[in-house]
Amino acid sequence: MKPELGDKQRLLHIRDAILLIEHFLENMDETHFQQSALHRSAIERQLEIIGEAAKSVIETLKAKHPEVEWKPIR
């Protein structure tokens, strides 16, 4: 069984997914993005990771950071 992740690990997952998305989009225009199923799929997966991690952050941490729009992120 997988150990439960803590909020620090979840936030690191969010950060890493954002960095990957930025990397995937480097030097890419909208036309190339629309034509690349590989890039769209890779970015979609990273967005899923961000959403799942944001959903799992404990409510206390979310309350401490109301400037983060947690619900839309999910």
CA 35 to chain centre: 22
Residue 12 forms part of a structural domain:
yes
Domain annotation covers residue 2: no
In a domain? residue 1: no
Residue 63 is part of which domain span?
7-73
What is the model's pLDDT at position 4?
A: 73
Residue 32 included in any domain = yes
Q: Could you report the per-residue pLDDT of 5-57, keeping only the tens digit for each? A: 799 999 999 999 999 999 999 999 999 999 999 999 999 999 999 999 999 99
Report the b/e string of 44-53 with b at 16+ CB within 10 A.
eebeebbeeb
DSSP 8-state symbol, 68: S
Q: Is residue 24 a contact partner of residue 42, using CB atoms and an 8 Å limit?
A: yes
- Residue range 56-69, pLDDT digits in tens: 999 998 999 999 99
Cα separation of 68 and 46, whole Å? 19
Tell me the pTM. 0.84
Number of domains into which the chain is organized = 1
